[in-house]
Amino acid sequence: MLNFSPWALLPPVYSAGTAAGLWLVYFMAVSDEKVVPLSSTSWRRNGSFYPPYISIAGNYPPASCIFSEVMTIAAFLGFIVAVLRYLQLKPRIHKAWLNVGSLLAFSAACFGMTLVGNFQLFNDEIIHNFGTFMTFGLGTLFCWVQSYITLRVDIKNEGRKAGVLRFLLSGSITLCMILYFSLMGQGSHMHASRCQWALVMFFLIFISTFAIEFRHSRFNAACTDGAAGPLNVNEAFSEVTRYQPDQM
């Protein structure tokens, strides 16, 4: 029997799969000469017109089709990760509003991902950019809150190590986001696009770190028949149980 919960695989698989999908979109866009490579010094190189922003790489078919699928699946699985994290913290955290607020923030960020993926930049710029602000802004807020919670909850006495790692990642994400918007506003699009890619990769690495705590927990959903009556939300959450693998 495994000495860790299989749920520990979800965060790293989610992060690796999302990263692979985004890089596939990028390489397709470079191959079709829609964007220049990230290594280029000029964003008009070889007849290509656009800098390698993620949104521009995913703007033209066939890359746009893959980009839409990647962002939609990433939003759905990201929401699942956030819900599982909420359930894991629910019986442990004293400040319940932090846990609820964190879940709501990331849920809204996941909705922003669907807007980014399904409303291409050049087709509906307003909605696309609104989704971008939701994803980056609320996603960054989620990272900082989760970093703080990690230190306070200290699951299995691993909170300090995991918390320090998450604070470093949160700081890197914030720095990349500030540089991204600043450089883009100055028209330095090649550097801005690199910061955007770094921001997204740091964010995916952050999500993958939830494997540290998830390996200690297993989540089971209970189903009741109609005779028992419907469950309200709080009762449904209470039906999700945890166990420590080393106690089995």
| Contacts of 241 by beta carbon, 8 Å cutoff, 6+ apart | 218, 219, 220, 222
> Which residue is listed with tokens 């990769």?
201
How crowded is the C-beta side of 9, counted as CA atoms within 13 Å?
5
Helices (runs of H) and strands (runs of E) counted in the chain:
10, 0
Q: What is the pLDDT of residue 48?
A: 61
Q: What is the pLDDT of residue 215?
A: 87
Q: What is the pLDDT of residue 219?
A: 77
Q: In which region does residue 156 sit, left (phi positive, over 0), alpha (psi from -120 to 50) or beta (all else)?
A: left
Q: What is the pLDDT of residue 40?
A: 82
User: Widest CA span of the chain, in angstroms?
Assistant: 69
Distance CA 64, CA 53 (A): 13
**DSSP letter at 222?**
-
Distance CA 89, CA 172 (A): 25
Q: What is the pLDDT of residue 15?
A: 97
* Distance from the Cα of residue 224 to its chain's centroid: 33
Distance CA 212, CA 198 (A): 23
* Chunked mean pLDDT (size 10), the chain, 248 residues: 77 97 96 90 66 94 94 96 93 89 96 95 93 96 95 85 94 96 91 96 96 84 64 47 40
